[in-house]
A and B are shown apart, each in its own frame.
Chain A
Amino acid sequence: MKRLVVVGNGMAGMACVEQILKYPRQFDITVFGDETHVNYNRILLSSVLAGEKAEDDVIIHTPEWYRTNGIDLHVGVRIVDVDSIGKTVTGNDGSCTPYDTLLLATGSSAWLPPIDGLEKDGVFAFRTLGDTRELIRRSAPGVKAVVIGGGLLGLEAARGLQVQGCDVTVVHLMPTLMERQLDPDGGQYLVGKMEEIGIRVLLGRTTIAVLGNGHTEGVALSDGSHLDADIVVVAAGIRPNVDLARKAGLTVNRGIVVNDQMETSDPDIFAVGECVEHRGVCYGLVAPLFEQGKVLAATMTRRRGPDYTGTVQAAKLKIMGVDVFSAGDWSEQNSEPVRYEDRALGIYKKLTLREGRLAGVILVGDTSDSHRYMEWLRTGTSLAEQRRHLLFPPPAADAGQDVAEMQDSATVCGCVGVTKGAIIEAIHDKGVCTLSQLKERTRATSGCGSCTRLCQDLLRAVAPDFEEEKKTVICACVPFAEEQLREILRSQRLKSVQEVLEIYGNGIGCEVCKPALSYMLDMLWCGDHDEDRSARFINDRVHANIQKDGTFSVIPRIRGGVTTPDELRRIAYVADKYHVPMVKITGSQRIDLLGVKKADLPKVWADLGMPSGQAYTKGVRMVKTCVGTDFCRFGTQDSTSAGIELERRFEQLFTPHKVKMGVVGCPRNCAEVTVKDIGLVGVEGGWQVVVGGAAGKSVRKADLLTTVETTEEALQAAGLFFQYYRENANYLERTYDFVERLGIEKVRKETIYAPAPVQEGLLDRLQKSKARAKDAWHEGQTPRHPTQFIPLVPLEDVSGALA
């Protein structure tokens, strides 16, 4: 068997090895990687930095994978020399390894611009898991970070650092952001988006020096200004790693030159990934790696596979809430541009067409159609038929109907078969003037309910005594049904509680409508509303649960109920230090510190060093889990990992009422998930997703939403329901009332069975909200108001003065 040596243990090399393993075994495989980790998904490092993923979540190949596939893995060894005559490679550990076939998958490194002081402590590239760990370790609220470079990587790093609490400024040489993927207009829209999420952007400026005495203290810019910085991240571009290829005598331009079979100039040496140059292009994105790996695996195993002819370049910015997509050639030379822009909504779309086919696309602010465009680019579809609907999908058959335009014979309620004529007849002949009377008389709206709006419009237009029904009104201060109110807030773009009260209410509001409106605004604008703490219950002002004596309870987040000795020690330390009168294990697999004074809350949170468990709010509470396959003899699914991921995805979000979740690894149901708002039940070969359970004032067994195979599908189904509940439930309506009110069939129809765009919309809005959501306990360090936690002290000495 021939000896294959792979230099580089990253995504490209391992994607190719995976393909090679699909063919009958021809090689003994040895892999060298200079990082000390197994192969991980480098493009997800920004998600690790942003706390959306744990380190383990980005591992692609575990040590076990290498073992089972008989791959000899050497991590932490850098290959420093290649002898292409003697056919050996030399490692920095002194080892010399012979090869018959050599695969160079050396990737690329950060390009370091000529800036003084880059050697200082606190300066990072953002390329490796090691970099990411160090950045997380150094990030904290108040830490100042400067990111040099406004490309994909720089912006993702900036967002990650910001999520970790840093004040972030991006300094970019060019006049707009992401100029390789976006035209100047698109880049400007992106600048707006970044600033909207609180990241400062400085354009057209070069960084000339990192300042500080040994440790980074700031940066000096070309315009003479200085920025304070504790952390500097250099993300100014990448350079293919070609040193070894040069030593091996390969033809090298910018990258290692390969042909359409992915062969280099040496028949026994191959190369793949970011280190290669194919038809004059060096790729820095992920999709080409896989396509190249496939072709190369065929070539290396001496099969005449498909040729590699290049990849349509497509890039998506992975910042939740900042939607950017770019693909193909969007330059306007010799092409017809088609544009749409809306400054208020921050949406910019541009397509370029050549000979009636899509050549390139830029989307900022709304990337929901990216799949459609990618498909058109890949297939080169002729767009003659779609010409009128390039920027928006053709309107659905039932949309945009105006009651006046409808014929009397037109069906209004498709479920029951009620025509417009029948409804008008009921109004005129039977004196129907409310929706419930109409429902009683004709049964219209009693099916799926999607015609409710239309019926209401008809009633309003036709019935002389039309009455808006009052029973679902929130309260007398804002006399509208919640559904209607949501529509008003959305269409009128209202963003503050006080504004709503002044325009649509009595100008004052009360303890019932203010928190409800606060919730609605937060949900509707995905967190981008004007938060007014005076409209929040005390628990949501100080992020703790008020007790009967005016003290508070503190429950840190313990995801999935899985904790560590270190966390427990900190909890114990806090309990001692602040003389916490009661420490209690809750029914939700968490630990409650009861009796904490308001003024101590920030210190308690800081000492705990754990995120808020949101146990005080109408929001995501927790995910209770059983032990699962890790230890349990009966487990069929890894319930703890799934539970922790479920909690991570939804935590910090607000909901109409509290949401308690659970995950169990088998139907024995040890974590009682069938009485939770959302539950995952592991079964052999898959998961059941159940919703609407309760074990509180009332007990209700959850309904089965769906059964799926993979954990990801289960989480996705849970996400659909979760967002659907957020958007459609009335405030203070628990899932069990909500599901019962709507019926599980309707819930299924509008979530897991909904058309793809509806599902994407739900998940997209969920992600947007999540992108804005923060750990509330950060406010301990950066309060919204100076006296949020600190008690007032009189401005003069009054000792002994008062009666």
Chain B
Amino acid sequence: MSERWIRVARYEQLPEREGRAVTVGEKEIALFNLGDRVLATDNTCPHKQGPLCDGIVTGSSVVCPLHGWKVSLEDGCVQRPAGEPHQVRTYPTAIVDGIVEVQLPVVSGFSRTS
């Protein structure tokens, strides 16, 4: 198993302080434009699998639209309810020439040129 940077969106496709989902293979990744950077997580709330991309962004956290769980976009930790051990997977991101890239796990041997 290795990891690879995947070009998932153009920066202007992401409105500031909102989330958007991108489907990469079988995975739904939520992207959040925080103004100075873009953060990426799995698009699934650990509570009842709500779409985090549709939540309201508060600072560098998002509030799930279904039942209000609050998840840090920095490390994926659940901040509310307090003491929840669940964590949402986060992914490294970069913005290169206006393109948002996310580092995702890939099947080894898969090459970029395909």
Contacts and interface: CB of A to CB of B under 8 A. Distances in A.
Interface in A503-555: 508-511, 514-515, 532-538, 541, 546, 548-550
A534 B17 contact: yes
A801 B110 contact: yes
A509 B16 contact: no
B66 interface: yes
Interface string A450-484: 00000000000000000000000000000000000
B54 A787 contact: no
Interface string B46-59: 00111100111111
B92 interface: no
Contact of B48 (A510, A532, A548, A798): A548
Contacts of A534: 15-18, 56-57
Contacts of B6: 794, 796, 798, 801
A345 interface: no
Nearest to B48: A548
B71 interface: no
A713 B102 CA distance: 61
B107 interface: yes
Q: How large is the interface on B (under 10, 10 to 19, 20 to 34, 35 or more residues)?
A: 35 or more
A800 B110 CA distance: 8
Contacts of A510: 56, 58, 63
Interface in A547-574: 548-550
B35 to A, nearest CB: 10
Given A794-B22, A803-B1, A803-B107, A550 B15 contact: no
A791 B58 contact: no
A368 B72 CA distance: 51
B110 A792 contact: no
B99 interface: yes
Given A548-B48, A791-B23, A792-B13, A802 B107 contact: yes
Interface residues of A, number: 34
A282 to B, nearest CB: 55
Contacts of B107: 800-803
Given A546-B54, A546-B66, A787 B20 contact: yes
A462 B98 CA distance: 58
A786 interface: yes
Interface in B14-28: 14-18, 20-27
A796 B65 contact: no
A404 interface: no
A793 B106 contact: no
Q: What 4 A-B pairs have minimum CB-CB distances, sorted nearest first?
A: A802-B25, A534-B17, A792-B22, A538-B54
23 contacts: A511-B68, A533-B18, A534-B56, A541-B54, A546-B65, A548-B48, A550-B50, A787-B13, A787-B14, A794-B7, A795-B9, A795-B10, A796-B112, A798-B6, A799-B25, A800-B25, A800-B110, A801-B4, A801-B25, A802-B24, A802-B26, A802-B105, A803-B1
Interface of A: 508-511, 514-515, 532-538, 541, 546, 548-550, 785-787, 791-803
Interface of B: 1, 4, 6-10, 13-18, 20-27, 31, 48-51, 54-59, 63, 65-66, 68, 99, 104-107, 110, 112, 114
Given A792-B21, A797-B114, 7 more contacts: A511-B56, A534-B17, A534-B57, A550-B54, A792-B31, A794-B23, A795-B99
